[in-house]
């Protein structure tokens, strides 16, 4: 017993690293700061944390177009909680960008997980990568009987490798322990990126096992990691066994085999205890076999029935919601489909309108794909959004936007004229808005001067009225979920029109909030209860509106605010100056003409909208009233969410006010085009 305790104590001694426990920056090409590739890398790495944590610990994606396309994926241990996974991926992504400032490909096992973050300028999905290799071991004493221990260790590692590599495309992870009388308990863990095939995962983990035996044989615990897999063992339970896939029963602690036995230590002795009998099986033995078997079969049957019923109920719920969403005006579903089909354009018409999607007609590029200017045969100008064939997220965005936008008509919403489905082409045809999006003006040092206070005040009011229509005045209650400067279009009179409803959600008429396991949107604009826990409501959009108001007044981005030589996040700066009585510091210096009282009132409204407490934020109906009535008194704002960051990418610590009272740690504000997978709005 004393030896056992000693072994466990020694296994907690610090790891000695054999490789380089830092980012590996490959030498296959560099990029320059502020380039398209740099921006794409920033966006894709910043989006990994919420997507990995929401997708059982693995997420792979890409962004951009050649030659600036960036591929990336993140991986957490299979026993990691969503919160620990989020924090590990987030910190590792930040470290990777800091340590590889201009390399086009890099990888890092980081955090306390550890977790893996990789990015490249070429596709990495499903590709086995064995270099670089990193290893580490405990500094404990070497076992005296290494031959016997080595046999037990080798058998355990083989089993855990087989189980991990046999995992699914969502998770290739396994843990196992072995109990042997002659040694302390041995624990092992193995996992691969689940995009690998079974054979590639097995090859990678076997390479790790071989590498450990070469470098660290005899040490009491250690690990070997590669860009595609991870293997670790130790003398204490370093993983969460309850969160791991079920392991087969551990080897029995049978008496030591006879000298003539060839069974390795730690395995079950298969000698029949009744060899001296006449070959019959006693009734007690039969009962011991039959009763557990029957019980297991009954349990399995009940579980299957429960799962089938739950799946049937979920399908019925989705079907019911679909009918509520698409039949809001008491039409049947078939009529709704026909009304949508009536807006379908012929592909040849759109090709002619855009001169076959020529670069000369290209207006811009987004996460969905490119946008082109077109001229219809009747001379009408249109904007054609073309789903990128390389996009893994646009198909559902496309369906969502078509079904929503056909039902919405408001002067502060971009109007959908129609769509086109032909082969692999997915096209959305919108009214042409000549002045592009708000971010092209408000964040440009030259164009910003074109937005005087009168224009900015009109833009703020128009956005507010558009959101009020979505939340309360349309026949559907809609949460936009991605309100930001890039999704506010400006017409020839500089009036705003809200666009991009691919990520929007529908609520029932009497429903105020909902939850989702997939976080989509743009960090910095996302309310904390949504970014951290997936809770969204009309107040989530109110928060985004508040951020947008502060950006419009200051002329600077939420996560790129700069005042003089100091750089910090916009909410921190606004809150400090509000409390310090120097709120004029927040106003764009180019706004030399205009009502200062209106500017300060808008800052006040913006701070009310970004309050940490969801219930304290006003509704859009209240916001519209505040903007239209200068005599209406406003309450004092409370501390904004994510307050406290001091860096350019501000750190934020937020807590939710919902019943679960779950806590979250810091998150970096980033600009991220996250993916969407929800097919049926709900």
Of 11, 236, 241, 244, whose CA–CA distance to 136 is shortest? Answer: 11
Rounded Cα–Cα distance for residues 414 and 428 (Å): 12
Which DSSP string do the residues of 176-210 spell out, in sequence order? EEE--TTS--EEEEEEE-TTS-HHHHHHHHHHHHH
Cβ burial, residue 410 (10 Å; 0-12/13-18/19+) = middle
Q: Does residue 70 sit in helix, strand or coil?
A: strand
Rounded Cα–Cα distance for residues 397 and 416 (Å): 14
Residue 363 phi, psi dihedral angles, 5° rounding: -95, -30
Q: What residues have CB less than 8 Å from 173, skipping those under 6 apart?
A: 57, 77, 78, 79, 164, 167, 189, 190, 191, 244, 245
Q: Dig out the tokens for 15 from the structure.
A: 């790891």
DSSP element (H, E) containing 300: helix 283-326
Q: What residues have CB less than 8 Å from 671, skipping those under 6 apart?
A: 42, 43, 46, 522, 523, 524, 557, 559
Determine the length of the chain.
Answer: 682
CB 501 within 8 A of CB 442: no
Of 642, 610, 634, whose CA–CA distance to 542 is shortest? Answer: 610
Rounded Cα–Cα distance for residues 679 and 395 (Å): 9
Catalytic residue list contains 346: no
Query: Catalytic residue among 79, 195, 200, 482, which?
Result: 482
Rounded Cα–Cα distance for residues 630 and 360 (Å): 47
Q: Is the dihedral of CA 399, 400, 403, 406 positive or negative?
A: negative
CB 122 within 8 A of CB 142: no
> Exposed e or buried b for every residue in 340-374, given b needs 16+ CB within 10 A?
beeeebeeeebbebbeebeeebebeebbbbbbbbb
Q: Is the dihedral of CA 629, 634, 638, 644 positive or negative?
A: positive
Q: How many other β-carbons are positioned within 10 Å of the β-carbon of residue 156?
A: 21
Residue 566 phi, psi dihedral angles, 5° rounding: -95, 145
Q: Dig out the tokens for 45 from the structure.
A: 């790495």
Rounded Cα–Cα distance for residues 203 and 226 (Å): 12
Rounded Cα–Cα distance for residues 196 and 202 (Å): 9
Of 279, 186, 273, whose CA–CA distance to 236 is shortest? Answer: 186
Q: How many other β-carbons are positioned within 10 Å of the β-carbon of residue 304?
A: 10
Rounded Cα–Cα distance for residues 146 and 458 (Å): 78
Rounded Cα–Cα distance for residues 340 and 319 (Å): 19
Q: Dig out the tokens for 441 from the structure.
A: 């003006």
438-441 LR contacts (CB < 8 Å, sep 24+)? 438/485, 438/486, 438/488, 438/489, 438/490, 438/496, 438/552, 439/484, 439/485, 439/486, 439/488, 441/490
Beta bridge partners of 61: 72
CB 480 within 8 A of CB 498: yes
Q: Dig out the tokens for 17 from the structure.
A: 């690293």
Alpha helices for 522-654 (secondary structure H) = 528-533, 538-554, 570-580, 596-609, 620-628
Of 505, 473, 302, 320, whose CA–CA distance to 396 is shortest? Answer: 505
Residue with tokens 């077109």: 374
Residues involved in catalysis? 482
């Amino acid at each position: 017993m004393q030896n056992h305790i000693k072994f466990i104590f020694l296994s907690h001694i610090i790891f000695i690293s054999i490789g380089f426990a830092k980012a590996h920056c490959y030498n296959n090409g560099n990029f320059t700061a502020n380039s398209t590739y740099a921006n794409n890398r920033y966006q894709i790495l910043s989006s990994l944390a919420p997507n990995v944590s929401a997708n059982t610990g693995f997420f792979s994606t890409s962004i951009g177009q050649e030659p600036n396309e960036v591929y990336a994926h993140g991986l957490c241990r299979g026993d990691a909680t969503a919160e620990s996974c989020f924090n590990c991926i987030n910190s590792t992504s930040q470290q990777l960008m800091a340590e590889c400032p201009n390399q086009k490909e890099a990888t890092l096992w980081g955090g306390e997980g550890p977790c893996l973050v990789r990015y490249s300028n070429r596709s990495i999905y499903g590709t086995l990568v064995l270099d670089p290799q990193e290893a580490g071991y405990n500094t404990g004493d070497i076992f005296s009987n290494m031959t016997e221990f080595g046999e037990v260790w080798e058998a355990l590692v083989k089993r855990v490798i087989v189980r991990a590599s046999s995992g699914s495309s969502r998770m290739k992870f396994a843990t196992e322990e072995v109990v042997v009388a002659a040694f302390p308990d041995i624990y092992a863990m193995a996992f691969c990126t689940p995009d690998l095939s079974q054979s590639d995962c097995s090859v990678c983990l076997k390479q790790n096992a071989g590498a450990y035996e070469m470098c660290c044989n005899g040490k009491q615990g250690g690990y070997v990691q590669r860009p595609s897999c991870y293997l670790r063992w130790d003398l204490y339970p370093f993983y969460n066994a309850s969160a791991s896939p079920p392991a087969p029963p551990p080897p029995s602690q049978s008496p030591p085999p006879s000298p003539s036995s060839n069974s390795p230590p730690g395995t079950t002795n298969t000698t029949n205890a009744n060899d001296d009998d006449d070959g019959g099986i006693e009734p007690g033995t039969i009962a011991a076999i039959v009763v557990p078997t029957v019980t297991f079969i009954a349990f399995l049957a009940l579980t299957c029935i429960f799962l089938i019923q739950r799946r049937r109920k979920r399908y019925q719920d989705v079907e019911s919601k679909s009918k509520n969403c698409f039949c809001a005006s008491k039409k049947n579903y078939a009529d709704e489909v026909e009304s949508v089909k009536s807006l379908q354009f012929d592909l040849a018409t759109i090709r002619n309108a855009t001169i076959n999607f020529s670069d000369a007609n290209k207006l811009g590029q987004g996460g969905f794909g490119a946008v082109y200017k077109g001229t219809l045969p009747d001379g009408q100008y249109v904007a054609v959004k073309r789903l990128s064939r390389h996009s893994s997220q646009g198909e559902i965005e496309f369906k969502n936007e078509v079904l929503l936008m056909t039902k919405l008509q408001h002067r502060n919403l971009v109007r959908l004229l129609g769509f086109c489905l032909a082969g692999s082409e997915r096209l959305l045809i919108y009214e042409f808005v000549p002045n592009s999006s708000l971010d092209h003006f408000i964040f440009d040092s030259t164009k910003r001067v074109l937005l005087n206070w009168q224009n900015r005040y009109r833009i703020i009011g128009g956005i507010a009225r558009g959101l009020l229509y979505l939340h309360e005045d349309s026949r559907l209650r809609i949460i936009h979920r991605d309100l930001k400067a890039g999704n506010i279009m400006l017409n020839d009179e500089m009036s705003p029109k809200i666009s991009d409803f691919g990520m929007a959600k529908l609520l029932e008429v009497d429903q105020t909030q909902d939850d989702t396991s997939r976080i989509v949107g743009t960090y910095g604009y996302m309310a904390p209860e949504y970014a951290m826990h997936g809770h969204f409501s009309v107040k989530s959009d109110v928060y985004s509106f508040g951020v947008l108001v502060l950006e419009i007044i200051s002329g600077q981005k939420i996560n790129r605010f700069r005042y003089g030589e100091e750089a910090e996040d916009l909410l921190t700066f606004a809150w400090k100056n509000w409390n310090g009585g120097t709120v004029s510091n927040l106003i764009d210096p180019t706004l030399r003409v205009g009502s200062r009282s209106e500017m300060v009132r808008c800052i006040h409204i913006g701070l009310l909208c970004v309050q940490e407490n969801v219930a304290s934020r006003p509704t859009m109906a209240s916001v519209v009233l505040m903007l239209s009535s200068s005599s209406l008194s406003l309450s004092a704002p409370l501390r904004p969410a994510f307050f406290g960051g001091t860096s350019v990418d501000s750190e934020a610590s937020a807590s939710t006010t919902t019943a679960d009272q779950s806590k979250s740690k810091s998150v970096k504000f980033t600009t991220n085009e996250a993916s969407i997978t929800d097919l049926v709005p709900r």
